[in-house]
């Protein structure tokens, strides 16, 4: 089931700083008057920029610094499973992006996520490897699908044998 989503406003400064952090100084990421930028219909986002939407996600599970209502987020090692459960046994395995429509500065994307496929494979040292896919869609203010991101995580069945 898909979540209700959240809004992610695309800001010129965010785009410029993201591009510069990648050492990408092409004008289409920062200079609205440049002919290359005008040809694209305005300042566009660099590839993978949509990952910045995590800063706008009120429920982003890796953000332990954001004030939250209700119970505090659990940290690695918290809870009944002791020191080896949850995030401690998992890792991000793959990330795929499919670009459908350009995203420009000034757009506001609605971000929704839903679970994808699940599968398992026998591991060598940690038991079964449990794979899960998460699909995130980014739609602009007109409802047009702009980007689909597919993330695959893997979790071991038990702590890895040393």
Instruction: Kindly state whether residue 72 falls inside one of the protein's structural domains.
Output: no
Quick check: 146 and 47 in contact, CB under 8 A? no
pLDDT digits (tens, 9 = 90+) for 69-113: 666 555 444 434 333 345 567 788 899 999 999 999 999 999 999
Task: Provide the β-strand partners of residue 149.
Answer: 97, 136
Dihedral sign computed on CA atoms, order 47, 16, 54, 153: positive
Tell me the pLDDT band of 1, cut-offs 50, 70 and 90: low
Quick check: 90 and 153 in contact, CB under 8 A? yes
CATH number at residue 95: 3.10.129.10
Q: Number of C-alpha atoms within 13 angstroms, CB side, residue 59?
A: 8
Number of separate domains in the chain: 1
Instruction: Kindly state whether residue 31 falls inside one of the protein's structural domains.
Output: yes
Instruction: Kindly state whether residue 76 falls inside one of the protein's structural domains.
Output: no
Strand 128-139 to strand 145-156: parallel, antiparallel, or no bridges (unpaired)?
A: antiparallel
Quick check: 151 and 94 in contact, CB under 8 A? yes
Question: Which of 48, 60, 41, 47 is closest to 106 using CA atoms?
Answer: 41
Domain that holds residue 48: 6-64+81-156
Name the residue with higher pLDDT: 1 or 57.
57
Instruction: Kindly state whether residue 71 falls inside one of the protein's structural domains.
Output: no
The string over 133-145, giving b where at least 16 C-beta atoms fall within 10 Å of a residue's C-beta and e elsewhere, is: bebbbbbbeeeee
pLDDT digits (tens, 9 = 90+) for 107-155: 999 999 999 999 988 877 768 889 999 999 999 999 999 999 999 999 8
Dihedral sign computed on CA atoms, order 156, 158, 72, 69: positive
Instruction: Kindly state whether residue 150 falls inside one of the protein's structural domains.
Output: yes
Residues 6+ apart with CB under 8 A from 44: 15, 28, 29, 37, 102, 103, 104, 105
Instruction: Kindly state whether residue 1 falls inside one of the protein's structural domains.
Output: no
Instruction: Kindly state whether residue 32 falls inside one of the protein's structural domains.
Output: yes
Task: Provide the β-strand partners of residue 6.
Answer: 111
pLDDT digits (tens, 9 = 90+) for 28-61: 999 999 999 999 999 999 999 999 998 898 877 7
Taking the C-alpha atoms of residue 72 and residue 69, their distance in angstroms, rounded to an integer, is 8
Instruction: Kindly state whether residue 162 falls inside one of the protein's structural domains.
Output: no
Answer yes or no: pTM beyond 0.75.
Answer: yes
User: What DSSP element (H or E) covers 12?
Assistant: helix 12-21
pLDDT of 105 reads 96
């Amino acid at each position: 089931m898909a979540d209700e989503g959240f809004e992610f406003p695309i800001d010129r400064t965010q785009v410029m700083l993201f591009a510069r952090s990648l050492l990408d100084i092409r004008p289409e990421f920062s200079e609205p008057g440049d002919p290359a930028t005008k040809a694209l219909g305005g300042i566009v986002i660099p590839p993978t920029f949509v990952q910045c939407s995590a800063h706008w996600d009120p429920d982003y599970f890796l953000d332990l610094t954001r004030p939250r209502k209700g119970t505090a987020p659990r940290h690695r090692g918290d809870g009944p499973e002791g020191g080896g459960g949850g995030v401690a046994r998992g890792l991000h395995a793959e990330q795929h992006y499919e670009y459908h429509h350009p995203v420009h500065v000034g757009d506001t994307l609605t971000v929704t996520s839903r679970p994808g496929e699940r599968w398992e494979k026998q591991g060598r040292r940690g038991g079964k490897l449990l794979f899960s896919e998460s699909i995130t869609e980014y739609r602009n203010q007109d409802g047009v699908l702009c980007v689909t991101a597919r993330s695959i995580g893997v979790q071991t069945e038990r702590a890895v044998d040393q």
